[in-house]
């Protein structure tokens, strides 16, 4: 039994049947978030930029994805990172309870990218130090939950993070790109890169800089069709 399954089984035994977020009693034992909390997640809806999925404040070329590598075809996020979704993202990231990933994955069905032919899910990796500190990669937990629903395998040994980047919340879109430049490395081309659809998985999309940089590394290793999916999308205050 993989360690993650053991952990999830232990959590099931230890946790009372109450919502992880609001502590209301749960009737559906498959879920760790109650329907009321899930109802507070606000879906990201079109009209949006067809490529990056950002709702467009004006017409004309999209500033957010203009510099993306060609192989990165599209990115979608399920919900807005606001007061409704923030506790769930926080629990995934810092709560030490990766089982909430199943609930987040359930909310991501409409973000599933078109995939004909072979596909793999690749979680955005953490640098080794950060991984040791947290004990798990929240994006990997999310990718594994999506893998069960979408029946697409997860690959974690292909993409590596060479360094952890400073927290991005205070940076502008331009400085974020510089911030993550060269942060990823493709260890070895374990799959037939040009013919596999790669779906990058992350918890939050802010400016897309992290996805774009990971896609750039994969593109340099031969990947030609890359999509990005995230559970949440942060509104960019100064982006118009």
Q: Which residues make up the interface to Zn ion (CB under 5 A)?
A: 19, 21-22, 24, 34, 37, 49, 51-52, 62, 64-65
Q: Cβ 211 to Zn ion, closest distance in Å?
A: 12
DSSP letter string over the chain? --HHHHHHHHHHHHS-SB-TTT-PBPS-TT-SS-HHHHHT--B--SSB-TTT-PBPSSSSS-TTTTTS-TTEEEEEEEEE-STTTHHHHHHHHHSS-TTHHHHHHHTTGGGPPP--S-EEEEEPPPPHHHHHHHSS-HHHHHHHHHHHHHT--B--SSEEESSPPPP-TT--HHHHHHHHTT-EEE----S-GGGSEEEEEEEEESSSHHHHHHHHHHHHTT--EEEEEEEEE---TT--
Q: Cβ 87 to Zn ion, closest distance in Å?
A: 9
Task: Please identify, using beta-carbon distances, which residue of 38 and 144 lies nearer to Zn ion.
Answer: 38
Task: Please identify, using beta-carbon distances, which residue of 74 and 119 lies nearer to Zn ion.
Answer: 74
Task: Please identify, using beta-carbon distances, which residue of 143 and 200 lies nearer to Zn ion.
Answer: 200
Task: Please identify, using beta-carbon distances, which residue of 58 and 167 lies nearer to Zn ion.
Answer: 58
Q: Cβ 26 to Zn ion, closest distance in Å?
A: 8
Q: Cβ 130 to Zn ion, closest distance in Å?
A: 28
């Amino acid at each position: 039994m993989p360690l993650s399954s053991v952990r999830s089984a232990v959590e099931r035994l230890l946790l009372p049947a109450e919502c992880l977020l609001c502590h209301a009693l749960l009737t559906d034992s498959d879920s760790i978030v109650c329907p009321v909390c899930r109802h507070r997640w606000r879906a990201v809806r079109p009209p949006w930029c067809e490529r990056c999925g950002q709702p467009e404040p004006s017409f004309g070329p999209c500033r957010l994805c203009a510099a993306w590598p060609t192989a990165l075809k599209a990115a979608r996020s399920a919900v807005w990172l606001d007061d409704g979704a923030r506790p769930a993202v926080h629990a995934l990231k810092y709560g030490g309870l990766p089982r909430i990933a199943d609930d987040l994955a359930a909310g991501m069905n409409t973000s599933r990218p078109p995939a004909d032919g072979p596909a793999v899910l690749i979680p955005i990796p953490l640098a080794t130090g950060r991984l040791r500190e947290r004990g798990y990669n929240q994006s990997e937990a999310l990718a594994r939950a999506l893998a069960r629903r979408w029946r697409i395998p997860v690959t974690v040994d292909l993409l590596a993070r060479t360094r952890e980047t400073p927290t991005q919340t205070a940076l502008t879109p331009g400085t974020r790109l510089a911030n993550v430049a060269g942060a990823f490395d493709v260890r070895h081309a374990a799959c037939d890169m040009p013919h596999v659809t790669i779906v990058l998985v992350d918890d939050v999309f802010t400016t897309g800089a992290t996805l774009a940089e990971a896609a750039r590394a994969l593109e340099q290793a031969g990947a030609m069709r890359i999509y990005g999916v995230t559970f949440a999308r942060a509104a960019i205050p100064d982006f118009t």
